[in-house]
Amino acid sequence: LDLGCGGGALLRELVKEPEFTEIHGVDVSAKALQEAARKLRLDQMSDRLRERITLRQSALTYADAELAGYDAAVLMEVVEHIDPSRLPALEHSVFVVARPATVLVTTPNVEYNPLFETLPEGQLRHSDHRFEWTRAEFRAWADAVAAEYGYTVAHRPVGDDDPEVGPPTQL
């Protein structure tokens, strides 16, 4: 599952790997799903390849039983687009209803933002971000979610790990 697949960047990589037999992209935006379909060139794919991919419009804050039973889910740069008050609904949807064996979550590390020369001080990286977490905040959220829903958690840097402010993205 690519939850919050946007324009399909991850989907384009997953479809190249034959071991992924069922790839499901989900996004709340119909426009983003149309872009993903265009970039994947779904209309030009062989039937065999096309049968592996499903694009579905759905909000990650609503329980969707159709997403249950997958081996893995990725929320790549998604949680920061959700209002903090809606995070429990996302948690329920992903960790209770869909309940994949593995969940990968990436999110910006706000502590890294001052290293971006073109990002004004105090501004978030994207106009639609509702928040950006520090490393400690993300660790606390992920640890609490894992404990609540019976998952184990590991924290990893994504990108160069600055000794003072950490990596640009956290996983």
List 23's β-bridge partners, or say none. Answer: 53
The Cα–Cα gap between 31 and 42 comes to: 15
Question: 85, 128, 131: which is closest to 109 by C-alpha?
Answer: 131
The Cα–Cα gap between 68 and 77 comes to: 21
pLDDT band at residue 160 using 50, 70 and 90 as cut-offs: very high
Give the pLDDT of residue 168. Answer: 98
The Cα–Cα gap between 101 and 161 comes to: 28
Name the pTM for this structure: 0.93
- For 29-61, the pLDDT digits (tens) are 999 999 999 999 999 999 988 999 999 999 999
The DSSP bridge pattern shows strands 102-108 and 72-76 to be parallel
Q: In the block, which residue shows the tokens 């687009």?
A: 81
The Cα–Cα gap between 95 and 141 comes to: 13
Query: For 75-96, what is the mean pLDDT?
Result: 97
Percent of the chain at pLDDT exceeding 70? 100
- Give the SS3 label for residue 97: helix
